[in-house]
Structure 1
Amino acid sequence: MELLKRIFTTLVTIFASVSSVNAKEHHYTSCALSENPYSSPQPYSPRQHSTSCPGRAHRHTSGSSGSSSDQSCRNNNNVAAAKARFYGHGVTTSYGEMCYHDNSLVSASLEALIQHLVPTVDYYPDRSYVFTFLLSSRLFLPPYELMTRVCHLCVEQQRSGDALLDKIRFREVAPKLVQLLTEWTETFPYDFRDERMMRCLKDMTLHVARGDEVTMQQMTQRLIKRLSALGQYEEAVAALNVVAMERPASLKSKQASAQRSDVLSVCDDPFVLAQQLTHIELDRLSFIGPEEFIQTFAMKDPLENHKGFFRKRKTSNLEAYVSWFNRLSYLVATEICMPMKKKHRARIIEFFIDVAQECFNIGNFNSLMAIITGMNMSPVARLKKTWNKVNTDKFEILEHQMDPSSNFSNYRTALRGATQRSETAHSSQEKIVIPFFSLLIKDIYFLNEGCASRLPNGHINFEKLWELAKQVSEFLVWRQVVCPFDRERRILQYLVTTPIFTEDELHLASYESEGPENNMEKDSRRSLRSSLLHRENRT
């Protein structure tokens, strides 16, 4: 128990530390990255963004593919006019290897996109482009390879053959390269868990040290602090999961099960429990990197399992958050199936209905859906005598809100309402929007699967990348919110560590609460008793 308290205290401290780091990141986002999609209070649209100086992307170094020169870029206007094609009211224009529609980038070669990311003395890429390309480039090449190529191009572009002149030219472009690296480390810090990325960052620090040494040091310190907090978080969550894997009281007797404390003994106020659930949701959301949504589809790096390189799953925090949803669903079902008395079970059902309602009011749709899922699990749904003692009107309204028909149209309407409330919020509580996370992942998955990443001409479909960035940028806005409610450590600890039943144990607990109604259920109870008793005796 003492170990558990230390683990839980460590976890709470990490969350508080990261909230401080996030506050600094959010300040940076709102100030330095005001053009970034996720820093705007308005819904992000790819049509609202163009990449600055379209012809700029085709000024290649002699070592890169394509041979467009500065002069050809300056003379591109006449060529572009000749190539312009009209579709309805829009204009599609090609600049070498980049294609625009109504001034928004829609497709380009990978080489042109990489070149377009490289800053010069008089050019810096549009920040919405930086976010979009850094997010989705991992579909085409690993982050360390992109960083290596960008830094190499930036250095090579300053070479003139005169060592002294080269130093002067690089000193002039260094601040913009530092700005790009800062955006990268602030928005996608988890990329730098790969030691190849850190080596590249260290190399660039040596290059720019004379000009922006302090800025680079500050950037590196913030990055290390974030990665350290991530490592501590993952270790603490893993330790809590080990504790949570302990089984509840033995099912060999209902009397033994009844000795277990339940949620009502820990918290009997639905509003307070909903607040604590919101703490857990926002805490765990804060550790999900935006790239994790895209990393799911990315090509496997052949060197990923090489000795010395970071080998953790690149979507581990996203997966941990989905696991939390499953845990909450099973916790709700366990709490309902555990009590001996029908009246007590009915009271717990009504309590969780009230908690779900409060989650809806707060804007915590993920906990809301987890509670509904737990209450609809078959071991709970079959407790007809218990449900007969419950007023289900409020629950039916909540189920209607989260009805999956028409692609969750009711929920999507409620989510839009919560988002609009958040955009005009006057208090921290009104800013809270916690989406039904599994559906968000599904939306991004089908967007990726439903649109080709490459076009027939070999270009990358940048319209798809804009849409992926739109989906992920909305998540980043929601992730920024700091939970305004007071922490109740005893309740939080109960929610994340109290033992829960497996599916088989839930079914048996349900049969013990309300006996089998037919021969199939009788056979199921007999089989479950035998297998679970055998398992308990073995352990």
Structure 2
Amino acid sequence: MPPTTPYAGKFNSCPSYGNNNHVQPPSPYHSGSAPKPSRDNIYNGPYSPTENPYDVPQPHSAYRTTSVSSVSTKEHHYGSSCTISENPYSSPQPHSPRQHSTSCPGRAYRHTSSSCISEHSCRSNGAAAKARLYGHGIATSYGEMCYHDNSLVSASLEALIQHLVPTVDYYPDRSYVFTFLLSSRLFLHPYELMTRVCHLCVEQQRSGDALLDKIRFREVAPKLVQLLTEWTETFPYDFRDDRMMRCLKDMTLHVARGDEYSWRAMQQMTQRLIKRLSALGQYEEAVAALNAAAQERPASLKTKQASAQRADILSACDDPFILAQQLTHIELDRLSFIGPEEFIQSFAMKDPLENHKGFFRKRKTSNLEAYVSWFNRLSYLVATEICMPAKKKHRARIIEFFIDVAQECFNIGNFNSLMAIITGMNMSPVARLKKTWNKVNTDKFEILEHQMDPSSNFSNYRTALRGATQRSETAHSSQEKIVIPFFSLLIKDIYFLNEGCANRLSNGHINFEKLWELAKQVSEFLVWRQVICPFDRDRRILQYLVTTSVYTEDELHLASYESEGPENNMEKDSRRSLRSSLLHRENRS
């Protein structure tokens, strides 16, 4: 088969950090001085589901270091060694069908525009291949698969499944494996795909002679194990489905009858998978316990004196640099548990071919949603901390503190916490506190708002993100590797890419050009997700950030009116209504 990816030979599992041409992100605050030293780690207590999940001694660290290239250490068992610099498809002519590929997947996909390819007139013509001019390149059709400039652009679903199946002398390009496993759930259930792939892999070795079949399967078994290893390590959450685990067990038994070495590799792979899923379950239980603890309501809103009994953020941490570090811990911890497939499953149910809605409804995007909830919580926490104090001077001090925290988040590369803080400070209950804001120097805040300005599709933020990404690629320290994107915008980009391009062309082929672009976006996220936070943990601060109670929107408005009285009749009516409804709610509870 001709090459399946335009990225062959360009993949590297991690960038070289020996480059001295260090690129800093365009920070208006970065002085170039060395970062402040982290404080001693006092966050070492025993783990309990009722405590902070960030107290766990990294039960999920193995998952965080997993990326598209997670099976590279196994290559010497199951195939030829990878060479990052080589391009097996450098020839301008298409290669023979199903040629063995050893190119490595890795950090980045091709550098083309995200626009989807226009519909092709490629048609199936059996097994014969024919080429024709296509714009400035060559479009080629190999049976049910169409290529443009040696890049797969469309194919039938059956052909794509067949192309995933390894043989004795063929293994699919690993970027193809990642792309198809990621987006195939738009068209069929992961269980169906795994069943069909395993069945084809076994059946194509059958010859009618039992001894010959055993010999032939022994030869292909290592390739099958490698494919399943890539699947379990890159998309482990697919295996929360009992049917997937049963299929994996069946294949383990089948492999055991043909090749003892591959059987042992299957056992080790299954053990790693179970360990990873166990860590995921532990994390979800801990987050659920924390969310339950955070449901406790703040002090009564009847008087500002009663509200003042609640501790504030400055009592937990008065150093903006340390608080930004702890926010980064939370961000990276929660990012590390988001499965790449969750981005696709968020809209997979829209495809009319999807018949297993129960699977997608059950935990389809639970960790992605939990991360979005964290963003909302942080925004409301910021607004609560500002609206709660009775004294104007205290409120102004907290505003200035959060501005400094946001600035440090920007310098770290933590854009998600930065945007959450800006969002909280721009909520109407906070924005209306004019007397408080008059006591604040807003120069830094205005610079930060400019960096995260949504105009021109967040062009300023995207420029800063590219700078942080370049810094990460040439990083000399763990801190410089950190890139935490504004997550809601990342989801929005993937959503509009999906909505703006058809899944299928008029000839029934799957639009694989679209799948390449989806994989490009998600692969960048995988690299950002695997960074280990270099800062020391402060258990007390982390506990405060994830468990302290925050005001609801109504409570925020009432607290704002209590801090600075209504300015017009509309606000007076709103305050009376809020007092009545919240008092009734408190008495009823």
Q: TM-score, normalised by structure 2?
A: 0.78
| CA offset digits 1:376-409 (Å, max 9, x no partner) | 0000000000000000000000000000000000
Q: In the alignment, is the contact (CA less than 8 A) between 1:332 and 1:371 conserved in 2?
A: yes
Q: 1:57 to 1:150 in 2, by over 3 A?
A: farther
Q: 1:118 to 1:380 in 2, by over 3 A?
A: same
CA drift at 1:85? 2.3
| CA offset digits 1:397-440 (Å, max 9, x no partner) | 00000000000000000000000000000100000000000000
**Once the two structures are aligned, what percentage of the paired residues are identical?**
92
Whole-angstrom distance in 2 between the partners of 1:99 and 1:312: 35
CA drift at 1:312? 2.7
Whole-angstrom distance in 1 between the partners of 2:345 and 2:565: 47
CA drift at 1:309? 7.3
Q: In the alignment, is the contact (CA less than 8 A) between 1:142 and 1:301 conserved in 2?
A: no
| CA offset digits 1:176-211 (Å, max 9, x no partner) | 000000000000000000000000000100111245
CA drift at 1:60? 33
Whole-angstrom distance in 2 between the partners of 1:312 and 1:223: 19
1:33 paired to 2:80: no
Further displaced range: 380-389 or 227-236: 227-236
Q: 1:55 to 1:81 in 2, by over 3 A?
A: farther
Match of 2:103 in 1: 52
Q: In the alignment, is the contact (CA less than 8 A) between 2:117 and 2:153 conserved in 1?
A: no
Whole-angstrom distance in 2 between the partners of 1:443 and 1:369: 17
- Pairing partner for 1:200 from 247, 268, 271: 247
Q: In the alignment, is the contact (CA less than 8 A) between 1:274 and 1:359 conserved in 2?
A: yes
Further displaced range: 248-257 or 43-52: 43-52
CA drift at 1:263? 0.3
Whole-angstrom distance in 1 between the partners of 2:438 and 2:120: 80
- 1:520-531 to 2 correspondence within 5 Å? 520-531=570-581
Match of 1:93 in 2: 140
CA drift at 1:253? 1.0
Q: 1:172 to 1:376 in 2, by over 3 A?
A: same
Whole-angstrom distance in 2 between the partners of 1:210 and 1:159: 15
Whole-angstrom distance in 2 between the partners of 1:534 and 1:177: 64
Whole-angstrom distance in 2 between the partners of 1:65 and 1:396: 32
CA drift at 1:164? 1.2
Whole-angstrom distance in 1 between the partners of 2:121 and 2:147: 18
Whole-angstrom distance in 1 between the partners of 2:206 and 2:119: 16
Q: In the alignment, is the contact (CA less than 8 A) between 2:338 and 2:368 conserved in 1?
A: yes
Match of 1:109 in 2: 156
Q: 1:506 to 1:50 in 2, by over 3 A?
A: farther
| SS, match of residue 139 in structure 2 | strand
CA drift at 1:87? 3.0
Q: 1:212 to 1:502 in 2, by over 3 A?
A: farther
Further displaced range: 511-520 or 201-210: 201-210
1:291 paired to 2:341: yes
Whole-angstrom distance in 2 between the partners of 1:315 and 1:507: 32
| SS, match of residue 222 in structure 1 | helix
Q: In the alignment, is the contact (CA less than 8 A) between 1:338 and 1:509 conserved in 2?
A: yes
CA drift at 1:170? 0.6
Q: In the alignment, is the contact (CA less than 8 A) between 1:175 and 1:211 conserved in 2?
A: no
| CA offset digits 1:133-178 (Å, max 9, x no partner) | 0000000000000000000000100111111111111111000000
Whole-angstrom distance in 1 between the partners of 2:221 and 2:183: 25
Q: In the alignment, is the contact (CA less than 8 A) between 2:186 and 2:351 conserved in 1?
A: no
Q: In the alignment, is the contact (CA less than 8 A) between 2:188 and 2:353 conserved in 1?
A: no
| CA offset digits 1:322-344 (Å, max 9, x no partner) | 00000000000000000000000
Q: 1:281 to 1:151 in 2, by over 3 A?
A: same
Q: 1:15 to 1:380 in 2, by over 3 A?
A: farther
Return the structure number with greater helix share.
1
Q: In the alignment, is the contact (CA less than 8 A) between 1:356 and 1:368 conserved in 2?
A: yes
Whole-angstrom distance in 2 between the partners of 1:65 and 1:357: 31
| CA offset digits 1:50-83 (Å, max 9, x no partner) | 999999999999xx99999999999xx9999983
Q: In the alignment, is the contact (CA less than 8 A) between 2:134 and 2:148 conserved in 1?
A: no
Q: 1:262 to 1:68 in 2, by over 3 A?
A: closer
CA drift at 1:47? 19
Q: In the alignment, is the contact (CA less than 8 A) between 1:33 and 1:39 conserved in 2?
A: no
Q: In the alignment, is the contact (CA less than 8 A) between 2:116 and 2:501 conserved in 1?
A: no
Whole-angstrom distance in 1 between the partners of 2:111 and 2:202: 13
CA drift at 1:259? 1.1
Further displaced range: 294-303 or 440-449: 294-303
Q: In the alignment, is the contact (CA less than 8 A) between 2:453 and 2:460 conserved in 1?
A: yes
| SS, match of residue 159 in structure 1 | coil
- Pairing partner for 1:373 from 423, 438, 456: 423
Q: 1:284 to 1:72 in 2, by over 3 A?
A: closer
CA drift at 1:42? 25
Q: 1:496 to 1:14 in 2, by over 3 A?
A: farther
Q: 1:153 to 1:427 in 2, by over 3 A?
A: same
CA drift at 1:92? 0.9
Q: In the alignment, is the contact (CA less than 8 A) between 1:425 and 1:431 conserved in 2?
A: yes
CA drift at 1:89? 2.2
Whole-angstrom distance in 2 between the partners of 1:69 and 1:263: 53
Structure 2: gaps (5+ residues): 1-61
Whole-angstrom distance in 2 between the partners of 1:469 and 1:462: 10
Q: 1:166 to 1:84 in 2, by over 3 A?
A: same
| SS, match of residue 56 in structure 1 | coil
| SS, match of residue 53 in structure 1 | coil
Q: 1:299 to 1:311 in 2, by over 3 A?
A: closer
Q: In the alignment, is the contact (CA less than 8 A) between 1:109 and 1:458 conserved in 2?
A: yes
| CA offset digits 1:495-535 (Å, max 9, x no partner) | 00000000000000000000000000000000000000000
Q: 1:457 to 1:51 in 2, by over 3 A?
A: farther
Whole-angstrom distance in 1 between the partners of 2:94 and 2:432: 43
Q: 1:122 to 1:40 in 2, by over 3 A?
A: closer
Whole-angstrom distance in 2 between the partners of 1:283 and 1:44: 43
Tell me: higher relative CO, structure 1 or 2? Use CA pairs within 8 A at least 6 residues apart: 2
Q: 1:358 to 1:156 in 2, by over 3 A?
A: same
Q: 1:31 to 1:379 in 2, by over 3 A?
A: farther
Q: 1:109 to 1:530 in 2, by over 3 A?
A: same
Q: In the alignment, is the contact (CA less than 8 A) between 1:363 and 1:432 conserved in 2?
A: yes
CA drift at 1:20? 13
- Pairing partner for 2:353 from 300, 303, 309: 303
| SS, match of residue 106 in structure 1 | strand
| CA offset digits 1:431-483 (Å, max 9, x no partner) | 00000000000000000000000001000000000000000000000001000
Q: 1:301 to 1:161 in 2, by over 3 A?
A: farther
Whole-angstrom distance in 1 between the partners of 2:128 and 2:586: 77
Further displaced range: 486-495 or 83-92: 83-92
CA drift at 1:297? 1.4
Q: In the alignment, is the contact (CA less than 8 A) between 1:432 and 1:481 conserved in 2?
A: yes
| CA offset digits 1:203-261 (Å, max 9, x no partner) | 10011124555x11110000000100111111110110011011110001111111110
Q: In the alignment, is the contact (CA less than 8 A) between 1:363 and 1:433 conserved in 2?
A: yes
* Superposition RMSD in Å: 7.1
| SS, match of residue 92 in structure 1 | strand
